[in-house]
Structure 1
Amino acid sequence: MRKLLWTILLAFAITALAACNSGTNKETEKPKETQKVPQPLKAVLEVPEKAAVKEEINMKVTVSQGDEKVADADKVAFEVWEDGKKEESKMIKAKNNEDGTYEAKTAFDHDGLFTVQVHIDARALHTMPLKPVTVGEGAAVPEGGEHHEHGEQAEHHHHGDHSADFSMHFIKPENVKANNATPLTVHLQLKEVPLENAQVRYEIWNNSHPDKHDWVDVKENKPGEYSGSYTFADAGTFIVKVHVENKAGLHEHEEHQLEVTK
């Protein structure tokens, strides 16, 4: 009988101790911190609306995040191209003034309509505002017709009401080798903010076999950045066509040519 009594008392003691420990754990357990969504980058691009032929112009961008100036951007570069010739664009590395502003200079050797777009990578975010520049007399108007659209929208096939505010930057890979997985990345922006939750696919074909097209699905790694990979089976000239759609009716595409070696 005494042995049974001690067994019951011991069981009560163990139960009470467990309840005590459980209460202590609940009291001392810290609530999980909610993950903060980083504030977007804001980039104010300054370029002249007009420039003379061979006149050196200044390109400047001021980068901020919330109320803070971003003086530690990982990469800032200005891309410049003539209307309808984005494949021939040139990249100009910006100088960091260490006060949130970044600058570079350029000049144009003939009349035409040009676009200046700045690409900013900072704090795991990307933004890429652009502005047009009219050089000299601007673009010549063909006899009996009008000149084509100005700016990057001339490079896209598009539908819907958003296309004028849409921007695409395909990061063209270098030294592409056959039989090696090649990363393919594109940055998308709408109204100067990253375009999220878009459906992005790459259509890829070889000029030697134009009837055979491969399709590559692309994932969004971070807001507005979409990446995938593709292994080119042979050397040669390939076309990578970037297709972009979203639920709001946006439909854009842009072609890029890649030279693949053995």
Structure 2
Amino acid sequence: MIPKYLKRSFWFVCIFALVACGSNNQADEGVDADGELLSLDVEFELPEQEEVGETVELKATVTYGGEMVTDADEVVFEHWLAGNEDDSTMVESTNHEDGTYTAKVTFEEDGVYEIYAHTTARDLHTMPKKSITIGDGHAESNDASNHDHGHHDTEGFVIHLMDINEVKVAEEADFVVHLQLDEEPFENANVRYEIWNTENENEREWIDATESKAGEYLGTHTFDEAGTYTINVHVEDDEDLHEHSDYNFEVVE
């Protein structure tokens, strides 16, 4: 016969295990104990102003549901001179394995620089943006080469097309767009890519993008000929939102 105190201990262990399993399942499903959705949050730190030629530290502190994320899939800083987003630079971060990710950059000319902290973790993506003034903040920007010729009526809405790698004729190309509203992933949108060769603007192709992660939309296309192309990203929702941005890229043999 099993003593009563051992039976009590056995049932206590079972109940504890069930509670723990339930908590783990909730975490796997992206909700907390109260059923609230867990969020991926990034505290992006950098100075407001710095001198030309000085080293600037970019720092992102990443949390998920209030817990430090020590194993983010990616934290990459993207910076560009305001008005010249087409000429941006991507900088990989160093993971300090305590929830913080840093990189060091040096700006060689006066101006205001915009910086994204692209962060991917727990199947989510967020990209808080900040700016820094270098020197006296005055610099000529090339508006003609602006990366984003967008129509943005919704305040706080961001369309960001990830860097387009070398696109070749007859090879499938991936186009990935991240959408945010007030720095939160914009989900369940209707996203379509309109693509055309700039030498023949009357012939346009439409591609439906699918949401691969929260706020991330993927579309693919294969090109028949080389040239300079434009992709216009159209975003709509079930209400009255309609935003679009266009980008240029090259297709090579």
Under TM normalisation by the shorter chain, which class is it?
0.7 to 0.9
Q: Which amino acid aligns with 1:241?
A: N
Residue 102 of structure 2 corresponds to 103
Match of 1:260 in 2: 251
2:122 matched residue in structure 1: 123
Query: Match of 2:60?
Result: 61
Report the alpha carbon displacement of residue 173 of structure 1 after superposing the two structures with TM.
3.1
Residue equivalent to 1:26? none
Q: Select which of 175, 180, 195 maps to 1:204.
A: 195
For structure 2, the residue ranges without an aligned partner over 5 or more in a row are 1-24, 32-37
Question: How far off is 1:243 after superposition?
Answer: 1.8
Tell whether 2:129 aligns with 1:138.
no
Q: Residues 135 and 252 (structure 1 numbering): CA distance in 2 closer, same or farther, change over 3 Å?
A: farther
Report the Cα distance in structure 1 between the residues aligned to 2:163 and 2:203, rounded to whole angstroms.
22
Shift of 1:158: 1.4
Runs ≥4 residues deviating over 4 A: none
Q: Decide which of 212, 215, 226 is 1:235's aligned counterpart.
A: 226
Give the counterpart of 1:183 among 155, 159, 174. 174
Q: Which residue of the other structure, out of 29, 36, 47, is the alignment partner of 1:36?
A: 29
Counterpart of 1:86 in structure 2 is: 85
The unaligned stretches of length 5 or more in structure 1 are 1-32, 143-147
Per the alignment, residue 17 of structure 2 pairs with none
Partner SS for 1:57: strand
Deviations 1:170-212 (A, max 9, x none): 1233231212222211111111110012221111111221222
| Identical pairs, percent | 42
* Deviation, structure 1 residue 226: 0.7
Structure 1 residues 141 and 229: alpha-carbon distance in aligned structure 2, compared to 1, 3 A threshold: closer
CA contact (8 A) 1:64 1:100 kept: yes
Report the RMSD for the aligned CA atoms in angstroms: 2.4
1:65-117 deviation line (CA, Å, top 9, x unaligned): 11310000111110001111111000000000100000001121122121111
**Relative to structure 2, which stretch is displaced further, 208-217 or 65-74?**
208-217
Q: Could you tell me the TM-score, scaled by structure 2's length?
A: 0.79
Amino acid at match of 2:87: E
The residue that corresponds to 1:172 in the other structure is 163
Give the structure with higher Rg (CA): 1
Aligned residues between the structures:
219
